[in-house]
Structure 1
Amino acid sequence: MDSAAGRDCCPAFPRTHSGPPCKYHGYESEDGHSEGYKKAQSVVIVERCAFAGPLLAGSRVICDWRQGQPLSLYALVCAVTLLNPIQISIHTSQAVLKLRRRSKASFRTSDSSAESNGTVPTTKSTSTLNSSYGASTPPSSVQPNGSMTNVTATKSKGDSTAPPLPPRPSVTPLKSNRNSTVGLGSSGSGVTMRSPGATSPFAPKLTSIADSTVVYQKVLLVYGEVGDPLQRPMAGNITIHHDKDGQAFPPTNWPVSDSYFKALVYLSPGWNQIRFDFTTASLSKDGIHSSYMMLNYLPLNNSPPLQLAIIVGRDSPCTYDAVPERREREGNGLDTAIRKYRMAAHLWQAFTAEQMYRHKFGRRCFRFEEEWQTGTLSLRDWEAGNLKNEIKVHVIRSDKTVAEIQDLQLAQQYAPAAKKGDLYPIASDAIKKYFRLRPGQRQYVAAMFLDSHWDPVVGTIRGHAALGGTSDDLQLAIFGSQALQSYPSCIEEVVPALTDCTRTDTRFVANDLNESGSNWEAVNIGIGAHLHEVGHLFGCPHQESGVMLRDYVRLNRTFLVREHYSTRTQSQGLRICRIEDECGWHRLDILRFRHHPCFRTPVDTILSTLDDSIQFYPIGNGKVIFCAPSGISFIEIYPDDGDELCRYWLEYVSTESRNGGMPWNVTLSEANVRSRLPENKRKGKVKLQVFSGSSRSLTIVDFSELLSKSYIVNLPARQSAPTKDEGLTMNTYNRLTKLPQSFETRPGFKGNKLGFSRLDGSKPEQIILDSVNLQTKLLTSIKVYSGYALDGIAFCYEDGHCQLFGKRGGKAGGDEFFFDTRRGETLSGFYLRAGLWIDGLQILTSLGRKSQIYGNAHGGSGHILMPPAGYTIAGVSGSCGQWIDGFQLIITR
């Protein structure tokens, strides 16, 4: 770099002033000499650089010449990757590069002439990346801040003050979530996509998502409008360009109908800058109308995945039903089946994430397991063999032959079949063997039988069953492949598949339940009905509307604006498919998903896994307290009218809190419950199903029974002691004087019982703690008798007296846990392991201490029994046979 006086130090730093240059730059120092820069910093504007190119045009650079070293171009080139404009503070003596963003509106620009009079042309900005306006910008005064304390305004030689610089024209920000332009080239033109200033009234406006949104799935459903649909409805196409000049994903086209559009956007992990171009033949003005959006795709890795599996017979040819034209054009082998099944799963995910967002629970959704393999979401990747992270589809060979799978007795839709549900255990056994599941390792699997076959002679689908549910640690949904030929295999095929009106040829493929008369309707039934079973997998029952009530026959409306002719309804489809016309998840399904582990996001509070149970305590006056350590999510209400579908409920989930804002305790009155029902259903029995934040539920068969006397215990009247005579021990004094009874009486309330009380010789037992009604009694320890189950517990007092619940079995002498009475430690509750009987017990204290788990620490499921706020333990009730097989707390105010 030539630093001779009178010359620019580098082509990247042109002379931008009229005074003599300093040693390294075309700027004067304060005293007219380059030595004046030993403690000062100068400001230069980079216009062009042979190394950096136009990307640094307009950048503001602050250079520190304390060591008399020229600015390194390498440091400038390092800034190319950063957003422009930027401010760079370089201290060459320490080789430190500090970067700080500056507002675009804070820069001052001048004309390109060295003799500029300060007039600023407003046609173009020098700070835009693609600007062709070749102006160099003189230095402006920089206000001192914490990182630059020595920066001073530059002065001309002999002048006492620096000449005033005109401010840069301000730009009024658009009130929009996107930036639009007209007349831009395609993404392959080599121009880096930025947000230009000029706007077009026909640029696509996204109404479903805001700029800079974080999403958690690879394929995102978006929708919006072009122009004003009410004033000038338009038709055309939306072309979606992805960042990196189409390297991430090729452009895709989506139809615009009456100015509305819906589209699927492919996202790469991290930030994605997406460009939406609108083209139409109805506009006389040439050019493309574009808008931009930044989206951040954050893959989820800490939530359990939904696994995809294809099950084939041990002698299967690995083909599926397809018409001859399809077999010739795209094939019907295993590779094509995997691609189609994978695309269907992405549609499940995009649909569900959008539904969660509409219910104000964010864009949460289940995730899939992925692996590095040939990309299939675009035709380009598949044909070129490009490797990408794609959903892993497990191909599982069953022990059964194809003939056994296609047995008519197993066909769900065959009326005389005797074993309609047996395909479920066949799939379950194959999956458990494939994944080698261990106890406690839960898997969520959506499986498809590839060997399903339409039998036109019998008129049924062999090897098909639509079932979903939970079996031990496997939550499974199964379906057949009878509609697979109609599925899209990539994003480019979604619109053609959902608009294909080709009639179903029942010589080769099935018209499932006479609702798949055309190819696009077969897509709805196949993808939608399988999603229905996935809903069962996640714990959803049938609902009064939505996916769980066969509303998936309208699934196409979620992804398209205009609907085609329907053979199912024998009518023309909707001209505009609005939100209210679409299929959706029911609100109760959404509430189940909100706290399901498969739907967990990084910002969610992880709820306790120690106890996912729900307890209840009737407290009199027609009220019941429900308690759950993971929070109460919602309560379903079922009147006694024979309707199995839930139509009335109470919900306690907040849409604003990360953990859902669920209360731990909920007090419910009978009047409140019955007021939720219609007038003609308020009398009679009412069933409740209470759901916790851990997705567990508790069923109350008859709410009125909880309010009956069977849950109320008459406690002995409380007794108080007079002042103790110092000459007697407390126990002796009590026996001599006999404590007077108080007039205060308190009822006790039983909580829900753990255990089934079904052991041989089981008898009910109940004790009221002496320390509750005798103030002079001090509970000092608890003895626990246990072996492989809980045999008994004894409450021991200071005077040596013990109250035994159950038997003294198991370990000889039992195990004793002592309270720290000097610190006022008392019993606050129990943690129990329980199933058919009580397997184990742990003692919880008021100081937060816990005993070990006595008995079987791994038997049954965990339950925390602890009185709600304002109540204390008054005793225990239950039953005992060979060991304790029933246990419940008695609480009092």
Structure 2
Amino acid sequence: MFTLHNIHDGEVVHQKSLLLIGRYNSPRDRDGHVQVQTANEAGRQTFPAHSWPMCDGWFKCLAILSPGKNIIQLRVAGGGDSVRVCVDYVPLLDIPPLHLVVMLAADSPGLMDCPPCKPSPAHSNLHAAVAKLRMAACMWQALTAEEMRAAGLGRRTFRLEEHWSADSLSRSFSPDPDSLMSCMRSTIKVHVVRSDKTAAQIRDRDIAQQYDGARDKNALHGIFLDAMKRYGPPFEDLTRPIVAGLIFDSHYDKASNLITGHAALGSHNPTGISLGMCGSHVAYAWPRFIEEVPDCLLDTTPPGDTVGNDCNACPTNWEACTVGLTAFIHEVGHAFSAPHTSGIMGGGCSRDFPKNFLSTVAYSRVLNRRDDVPITIHTDHMCRWALQDLLRFVGLPHFRHPSDPEKNSASAVVTVEGHGDSLRLVINCKAGIAEVNLNGTVLNKTSIPNPAKQVLVRINELSRFSRNSPLQLQVLSMNGKHAEYPVWSMLSRMAQIQIPGTDIHLRRKSVGRPIGEDGDWPWAVLLNKRDQRGNLAQAYKIDLRVGWRLDGAEVYFEDRTKIPCGRRGPGGNDPDMGGHMTRKLLISRKAEITKVLVSRVDQNDLCGLRMFLSNGKAMGALNKHYSHAVETLVPDEGQIIVGFYGTTSQHSRCNEFGIITAPRNIQLPDWLYDMPELQNNPKDGSGSRLRPNDGPRRYDLDIAEDQDGGYDCHLDVEESD
């Protein structure tokens, strides 16, 4: 009569806390409770029985496991039907754990904030703080393992450090050491560290994260790190521990309506201590032991005005509980190296936290409604780890399984292949491809257990997107690396570009490495551009920027703007280009660029640039002392150079430089200058800003140019074809 949806009999797991999801299929007692009992192979009970609510037969519940075989029996409360499943718990003691730490002030009063509706000190003393952090970690561990399983990555999660001590995970543990349910057992360790700062210093509003006038909102993170370092092992840089830290002495100052001694902060330090921390100001609402989990996630009691209403999202105890636990796991995610993505790492998902552990939900005073129930294994919600985060975690030693292969750190590489209707984007990644998106819409989701190493995106799949709007190809690799590629710019790297609505084709040729790595900036700059009045402005000068390597170029236009052949900055504030051998080349109206020389050290490393005009002028430096080869870019017969294109690395070094050519003596259509793949616009959509007194007056432009005289070039190279 019971169906378990996320576990099978005989399964081997590596976690102490296990989330079970299933359904009771009887027409009776479908909104009752399911009782969880755990025993070993000999039939001896290893953890006290506890109950969880059902909704329309659906249930979710936690089981706390002991090393070895665990016989988990689920029974309808009050007797009746039951089901048994055997789960083999094998702890992985050779992987690093997540450490749990409570930090006290030097003179801590020993009590956390607690409203009258919660008995104090049972919910506010140090023992309660330790128990609540221990239970929270069990919930996070089970949630993460289930998310991994559902994503096809295997049931994996972080290990929690354990030691022999009095356990608090059940209210039914006996203080008698000879009892079968003795509290003395191997339990999750919570370190208690003492800061050298007083409670008043920790509660100083000048370091309170939620105080707008705070002088240092990150100070509490440093205070916590210092306290752990003074505590000593295991909190040493050499061991690179990852820590979930609770600030015990957080306090709500009712007079100023400010939560002090609290900062939700997390950071990953690959060479030292990684810490995700949170204040204890809503810990009164957290469960102390497993029997309290359902009650705490369903408690609609208002906490009152003696405690802080964090983010105005805590009008009930259950909402205060989830605000705290979700913010905390978010910061622990940062400690595990996850950036801001979506779901848990996107924020704003606290109201969905209970949906990971219960099949029913409480009424939300924040939203003034109750979400639909039951919550099943198929119910979608926001409080989840993003696939990108899960894949990132898989690569950490804390999540590794003994059978895992060696991690492949390869990045995805995207190239353009084919012509016409057979044109396609080819995505290759030796680590495997997890997901491909176009502007956030999933285009291709490969099998996670058997990921593809190559994915094709055909030109007809792009027809639903407007070429007048940016289109980003997002590739998530199996090693957690996430890269974005500008589709229209990449397609502009084709040897020929057809101008829409015409039979005219622009041609392209370049030297160097085209875009292919995350962080590359593709660009294109035509020698005519549209000004702010909608008229065409012509290029009149080019600044060739050459240093020890090729930095790029800057094209000056008659509307008194300039556009870099390189990276753009927001609001038209472009980063300064280097180049101690910079040279400015003036282009008269009757002159045209006839030839471009590009020197390179190797295929991916360009080091010089020189241009030639039809009036005999030449300008630029080729770095002859460093270059191994000089390549010549000239238009094909019947063509004329109308612009440049290339790729600049995230370190602002030009990796590719090329020419764009058009048929000579043919009027190019006006809309050519609006094609995004032929422009170099900042990501925020702004363009180059006009200088004061702007206008199309060529006589008022800066027409100064540099002297050349064959600068840094051999004569035979200059005259080559």
Q: Shorter-chain TM-score: what band?
A: 0.5 to 0.7
Q: 3-state SS of the aligned residue for 2:288?
A: coil
Question: Identical aligned pairs, as a percentage?
Answer: 31
2:295 maps to a residue whose letter is: P
Q: Aligned to 1:449, which of 243, 247, 263? A: 247
The 5 A counterparts of 1:16-55 are none
Does structure 1 conserve the Cα–Cα contact (< 8 Å) formed by 2:144 and 2:385? no
Aligned to 1:766: 600
2:480 maps to a residue whose letter is: S
Aligned to 1:55: none
CA-to-partner distance for each residue in 1:405-460, whole Å, 9 max, x for gaps?
A: 22223222233434334434444555566568777864432222222111111112
Q: 3-state SS of the aligned residue for 1:249?
A: strand
Residue 33 of structure 2 is aligned to residue 237 of structure 1: yes
Residue 351 of structure 2 is aligned to residue 351 of structure 1: no
Count of aligned residue pairs for this structure pair: 520
Residue 276 of structure 2 is aligned to residue 477 of structure 1: yes
Residue 441 of structure 2 is aligned to residue 648 of structure 1: yes
1:465 maps to a residue whose letter is: A
Relative contact order (C-alpha < 8 Å, sep 6+): which is higher? 2
Q: Aligned to 1:412, which of 209, 216, 230? A: 209
Q: Which runs of 5+ in 2 are unaligned?
A: 178-182, 497-508, 521-548, 552-576, 583-597, 604-622, 631-648, 654-721
Does structure 2 conserve the Cα–Cα contact (< 8 Å) formed by 1:607 and 1:693? no
Inter-partner Cα distance in structure 2 for 1:361 and 1:289 = 33
Does structure 2 conserve the Cα–Cα contact (< 8 Å) formed by 1:356 and 1:590? no
Inter-partner Cα distance in structure 2 for 1:363 and 1:708 = 44
2:151 maps to a residue whose letter is: H
Q: Which runs of 5+ in 1 are unaligned?
A: 1-202, 281-286, 639-646, 713-744, 770-790, 795-801, 806-833, 839-893
Could you tell me how far 1:503 is from its partner in structure 2? Answer: 1.8
Could you tell me how far 1:274 is from its partner in structure 2? Answer: 1.8
Does structure 2 conserve the Cα–Cα contact (< 8 Å) formed by 1:238 and 1:254? yes
Q: 3-state SS of the aligned residue for 1:248?
A: strand
Could you tell me how far 1:504 is from its partner in structure 2? Answer: 0.5
1:669 and 1:418, CA in 2 relative to 1: closer, same or farther beyond 3 A? Answer: farther
Inter-partner Cα distance in structure 2 for 1:498 and 1:442 = 34
Inter-partner Cα distance in structure 2 for 1:437 and 1:227 = 50
Inter-partner Cα distance in structure 1 for 2:46 and 2:382 = 31
Inter-partner Cα distance in structure 2 for 1:302 and 1:637 = 41
Inter-partner Cα distance in structure 2 for 1:318 and 1:445 = 22
CA-to-partner distance for each residue in 1:812-867, whole Å, 9 max, x for gaps?
A: xxxxxxxxxxxxxxxxxxxxxx99799xxxxxxxxxxxxxxxxxxxxxxxxxxxxx
Q: Which moved more, 1:350-359 or 1:394-403?
A: 394-403
Residue 220 of structure 2 is aligned to residue 423 of structure 1: yes
The 5 A counterparts of 1:570-585 are 570-571=368-369, 576-579=374-377, 580=379, 583-585=382-384
1:588 maps to a residue whose letter is: L
Aligned to 2:122: 330
2:468 maps to a residue whose letter is: K
The 5 A counterparts of 1:117-156 are none
2:351 maps to a residue whose letter is: V
Residue 322 of structure 2 is aligned to residue 524 of structure 1: yes
Q: Aligned to 1:686, which of 440, 465, 471? A: 471
Q: Aligned to 2:193, which of 371, 374, 396? A: 396
Residue 288 of structure 2 is aligned to residue 489 of structure 1: yes
1:487 and 1:680, CA in 2 relative to 1: closer, same or farther beyond 3 A? Answer: same
Does structure 1 conserve the Cα–Cα contact (< 8 Å) formed by 2:436 and 2:474? yes
1:749 and 1:573, CA in 2 relative to 1: closer, same or farther beyond 3 A? Answer: closer
Residue 431 of structure 2 is aligned to residue 630 of structure 1: yes
CA-to-partner distance for each residue in 1:209-234, whole Å, 9 max, x for gaps?
A: 222222232121213333434xx454
1:242 maps to a residue whose letter is: T
Inter-partner Cα distance in structure 2 for 1:768 and 1:619 = 23
Does structure 2 conserve the Cα–Cα contact (< 8 Å) formed by 1:359 and 1:590? no
Does structure 2 conserve the Cα–Cα contact (< 8 Å) formed by 1:256 and 1:561? yes
Inter-partner Cα distance in structure 2 for 1:637 and 1:432 = 46
Does structure 2 conserve the Cα–Cα contact (< 8 Å) formed by 1:204 and 1:227? yes
Does structure 1 conserve the Cα–Cα contact (< 8 Å) formed by 2:148 and 2:390? no
The 5 A counterparts of 1:167-178 are none
Does structure 2 conserve the Cα–Cα contact (< 8 Å) formed by 1:355 and 1:584? no
Could you tell me how far 1:486 is from its partner in structure 2? Answer: 1.4
Does structure 1 conserve the Cα–Cα contact (< 8 Å) formed by 2:71 and 2:85? yes
1:482 maps to a residue whose letter is: H
Larger radius of gyration: 1
Could you tell me how far 1:343 is from its partner in structure 2? Answer: 0.2
1:212 and 1:513, CA in 2 relative to 1: closer, same or farther beyond 3 A? Answer: same
Aligned to 1:101: none
The 5 A counterparts of 1:530-549 are 530-542=328-340, 548-549=346-347
Q: Aligned to 2:91, which of 299, 317, 320? A: 299
Could you tell me how far 1:243 is from its partner in structure 2? Answer: 1.5
CA-to-partner distance for each residue in 1:280-334, whole Å, 9 max, x for gaps?
A: 4xxxxxx643321111222233444333222333443443212356454515222
CA-to-partner distance for each residue in 1:526-581, whole Å, 9 max, x for gaps?
A: 11221233334445455565663422213223323333343223345656333426
Q: 3-state SS of the aligned residue for 1:492?
A: helix
Inter-partner Cα distance in structure 2 for 1:206 and 1:310 = 37
The 5 A counterparts of 1:37-116 are none
Q: 3-state SS of the aligned residue for 1:390?
A: strand
Does structure 1 conserve the Cα–Cα contact (< 8 Å) formed by 2:135 and 2:289? yes
Does structure 2 conserve the Cα–Cα contact (< 8 Å) formed by 1:240 and 1:276? yes
Inter-partner Cα distance in structure 2 for 1:274 and 1:562 = 22
Does structure 2 conserve the Cα–Cα contact (< 8 Å) formed by 1:564 and 1:574? no
Aligned to 2:158: 366
Does structure 1 conserve the Cα–Cα contact (< 8 Å) formed by 2:343 and 2:386? no
Residue 367 of structure 2 is aligned to residue 569 of structure 1: yes
Does structure 2 conserve the Cα–Cα contact (< 8 Å) formed by 1:273 and 1:294? yes
Inter-partner Cα distance in structure 1 for 2:651 and 2:237 = 19
Q: Aligned to 2:68, which of 270, 275, 279? A: 270
Does structure 2 conserve the Cα–Cα contact (< 8 Å) formed by 1:551 and 1:583? yes
Could you tell me how far 1:461 is from its partner in structure 2? Answer: 0.9
- Taking structure 2 as the reference length, the TM-score comes to 0.62
CA-to-partner distance for each residue in 1:571-618, whole Å, 9 max, x for gaps?
A: 45656333426554155346535733233333322314xx55555566
- Taking structure 1 as the reference length, the TM-score comes to 0.51
1:444 and 1:686, CA in 2 relative to 1: closer, same or farther beyond 3 A? Answer: farther
> Could you say what the CA RMSD is over the residues aligned between the two structures, in angstroms?
4.2
